[in-house]
């Protein structure tokens, strides 16, 4: 018989930093860096408001891009791990013509 025990949590992550968003044509690009304090993130979620409102889980990626319709988008990112979820990052805004 083999027993395994989950590792103790080191704490929930802090919000991601250095959020950067820009549009090129109808493609919206977003990138960020993990916080330097708190637990290590295993997943990120993007909250989008503006021309569209949605919550998009993106796994462990630290950058995303996608085609969107015209409008102004405000984006924030949260980080999570087995211990919990961070608050939202500072917002980044991008305008798609």
| Residue 68 domain-assigned (yes or no) | yes
| Residue 7 domain-assigned (yes or no) | no
| Residue 12 domain-assigned (yes or no) | no
Domain extent, residue 66, equals 17-96
If we measure between CA atoms, which residue out of 41, 49, 42 comes closest to residue 94? 49
pLDDT one-digit tens code per residue, 14-67: 999 999 999 999 999 999 999 888 998 989 999 988 876 778 888 888 998 889
Number of domains comprising the chain: 1
pLDDT at residue 5 tops 80? no
- What gap in Å lies between CA 17 and CA 79, rounded to an integer? 10
Query: In CATH, what number is assigned to the domain containing residue 31?
Result: 2.60.40.10
| Residue 2 domain-assigned (yes or no) | no
């Amino acid at each position: 018989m083999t027993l395994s025990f989950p590792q103790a949590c080191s704490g929930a992550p802090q919000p991601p930093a250095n959020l950067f968003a820009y549009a090129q044509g109808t493609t919206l690009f977003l990138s960020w860096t993990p916080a330097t304090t708190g637990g290590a993130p295993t997943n990120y979620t993007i909250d989008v408001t503006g021309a569209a409102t949605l919550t998009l889980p993106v796994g462990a990626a630290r950058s995303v891009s996608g085609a969107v319709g015209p409008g102004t988008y405000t984006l924030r990112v949260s980080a999570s791990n087995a211990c919990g979820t961070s608050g939202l990052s500072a917002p980044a805004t991008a305008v798609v013509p």
